[in-house]
Structures are given as structure tokens and as C-alpha cells.
Structure 1
Amino acid sequence: MGTAHAARAHIIWTSIALVLILTASCLTYVFMSKVSGCQRIHNLPVSAIESMFRHEVSREKWLLKACNHTDNRLVWDDEWEGHRNRSESILDHDKTWIVIREKGVYLVYIQANFVLKPLKDSDSTVDLKLLVDFKYEEKTEIFSAAHDTQVVNDNTSPDAKLNTFLLMYMNSANQLSVKVSPSDLVNYEPRPFSTFITIIKCADTW
């Protein structure tokens, strides 16, 4: 059972990583934060992207699944926790902040799934929000955000999702946290992953 689970997780992780890498190689620009800990890229040359992936693959690759929330911040579980040493964890003690261990360029993809609850015989709207907080040098700023307004009724799909894709340069000890609203509508049921974050270090520098 454990072998089957590990194999399934490996296949899923590989598929997600390939999608992220292909997406990154097709980007002509990436919107980045204005904070000093990160950089904004415009028209990144293909040669620069290729050079980033020529480096030896880093061990800094993570797949975290949301399992709960506290004060609108998602609480994470490491999908591969059983295959790592406790000292390798990148989660803080509350499992709400992701602490970067090695400086470098990271691909980050976040998806939050929501379960919409229509009111019987009535239309309503719900504002869905996803915010990424970035903590550096004792400062915390909003790094990225996604927003959508859904009309909810009996004909509405029960599922909705928000996602954001980031290419970031981060230093050791920088931290990320994800806030969602309304947090009581977040879907935590695996299919295989409904609300998750993937983090892949792809280079030491730009």
C-alpha cells in the first residue's frame, strides 16, 4: 500500500513539475513583487531560462496539501513527510508559513479550490480571494493575489478555483503564507489534490 501511494505521488509530482517547467519556458514576462527580496522580469530570454535548467536538479522541491485554515491562512501537510527527515521540513510549527531553506530561483504554483453552496431558489454572489504573503527581513507584504466573483444558484457548478503562478528569487529564511477567503468554502478533499502548493528550486541565481 505504501509503495503504491509513493508511486502515485511520484507520478503526480512529475506531471506537475513538467507542467510548471513548460509554462515557465513559454513565459515572456512574469509579474513580480516590488519588494527588495524579489525581482520583476520583463521579456526573459529563452537562453536565460535554458541556462537555469542546465544546473543539477535541486533537492528543494515540495508538494504541500492544504488540510485546514486558521485566521484565513491555509494550514499545510507535506505530502512526502514520511519520506523526509524532520529536519528537512520547510513548515513552521503552525504549518501556516513556508520557510525557504536555500536561496535561489523558485517556481511556485498555488491552487485553491472552493465548494460553492447555492441558496435554494435564489441567486447570490460570493467573492473568492487568494493572497500570497511574503515575509522578509521582518517585513510582510502581499506578493501576489487572485480574485473572482461567482454567481451562485442551482445551475452553478459546485466547484470554483483560484490559482497563481510565480517565478521568484528568494533568500534563505524568506517565508510564504497563503490566505484564502471565504476560508469556510475551501475544499480540502483530495482529488488527488484540491488545494495545494508546489515549490521547485530551478536555479541558484537568474
Structure 2
Amino acid sequence: MQESLNGRDPGNSSSKAHWFLKVSRDDSHTEVLGPVRWEQEHNPRGMSLDPSKTRIAVDDDGIYVVFVQAVFILRSGSTDTGQTDKRVRLRLQLNTNGTDGIPEDQLVAAWDEREVKDVHDEQIVHLSFMVLLELKKSQYIRVMAKHRDKLDYNTPLSTFLTIVKHSDLQD
């Protein structure tokens, strides 16, 4: 017979809120740094996407683990400032809104700067981060990326987000 942990049945751990999302191409934003659009891979449990599919809201207050991975494909001619500068500055960040109408704020970011050296040069760059967050029902998270046009949309599940509720908030 299994003992309960903190009054919970350890065999019922699958009831926690969780979600796995994969990247979806979105050409409607023209900014270099802009929101990543998501497509649900499985039915969500305890979370939802807004109509723009860029904001993920949680249904319950809690501590959540968020892992984001992005794969960028860099080719010749894909630089920040044209052909004279062969450097590409990539960025992946997680934003959230505050409670009580506080504007969106950046929580964590990963970045890389690469030089595209040759006409036939192709580089694959991975950026990722994991963060433990306290989220309330009125909050959402949103992933922002610099150079979304260079995200790998073709390889299955190369760019994704997973979120799991770790625990409830204690009063």
C-alpha cells in the first residue's frame, strides 16, 4: 500500500495541470522580436490559449515548471543588418503579465549571436530555458522570439513549450 504525500494519493499524479505545445508559423507579426504562436499537441489540462494562440493562461493558482526549446536555422543572407554584417542575434524570452493589471514583463531569456560565414553555410542553433514560476489565475505567459522567421517549423517538435503544475499555492 502506498503512503500519501502531503495528503495526496501518489498514484494520482496525472491529475496535475499540464500541457505540451508545438510552434505554429505566424507571418502576421512583422517585428523582429515578437510573440511565438503555438498549436496544441494534446488536450490541455488546467490551461488555455487565447484567440491569438500566443498567450497561455492557467486555470488555477500554483507553482508551474515551464520548459521552452527553440531551434533556429541560419542560412547565408539571414543577418540582422544586411550583407555587410554577417552576424545574427537570436533571442528567446518568457514574459508574463502581473496581477491587477500590471503590464507584461520579461522573466527569463536565452540568446546567442552567430556569424553566418559562407554562402552555403547553414547553422542550427538551439536555445532553451526552464523556469519555476508562481502563476495566479489572472496571469498568462507568452514566449517572445527574435527572428521567428528562422524558427524550424518543419522538423516535428523541434520548437516547443511544456508546462506542468508543480504544486498548489499555500495560504
Would you say 1:117 and 2:75 are equivalent positions? yes
**CA contact under 8 A between 2:86 and 2:116: conserved in structure 1?**
yes
Q: Which residue in 2 is equivalent to 1:149?
A: 113
Partner residue in 2 for 1:168: 133
Question: Identity of counterpart residues, as a percentage?
Answer: 27
Identify if the C-alpha distance between structure 1 residues 127 and 105 changes in structure 2 by more than 3 Å, giving closer, same or farther: same
What stretches of structure 1 move > 3 A for 4+ residues in a row? 53-56, 154-157
Q: Secondary structure at the match of 1:189?
A: coil
TM-score (norm 2): 0.76
Between the aligned partners of 1:123 and 1:112, the Cα distance in structure 2 is: 24
**Higher normalized strand content (fraction of residues):** 2
- State the secondary structure of the residue aligned to 1:158: strand
Q: Is the 8 A contact 1:123 1:152 kept in 2?
A: no
1:100: Cα distance to partner?
1.0
Q: Deviations over 1:31-89 (max 9, x none)?
A: xxxxxxxxxxxxxxxxxxx97x98642331100001123532111111014xx69xx65
- 1:71-110 pair list within 5 angstroms: 71=29, 72-81=34-43, 90-110=48-68
Q: Which amino acid aligns with 2:112?
A: D
**C-alpha separation between the residues in 2 aligned to 1:108 and 1:165?**
6
SS at match of 1:184: helix
5+ residue gaps, structure 1, are 1-49
- After alignment, is 149-158 or 163-172 more displaced? 149-158
**Residues 147-204 of structure 1: CA deviation (Å, up to 9, x unaligned):** 11011123855211111110111111210011101121111123x3111100011211
On the 8 A contact 2:47/2:59 being kept in 1, the answer is no
Instruction: Verify the 8 A CA contact 2:75 2:121 in the aligned structure 1.
Output: no
CA contact (8 A) 2:94 2:109 kept: yes
Taking structure 1 as the reference length, the TM-score comes to: 0.64
Question: 5+ residue gaps in structure 2?
Answer: 78-83
* Higher share of residues assigned helix: 1
CA distance in 1, matches of 2:9, 2:131: 20
Q: How many residues align structurally?
A: 151
- Alpha-carbon RMSD: 2.9
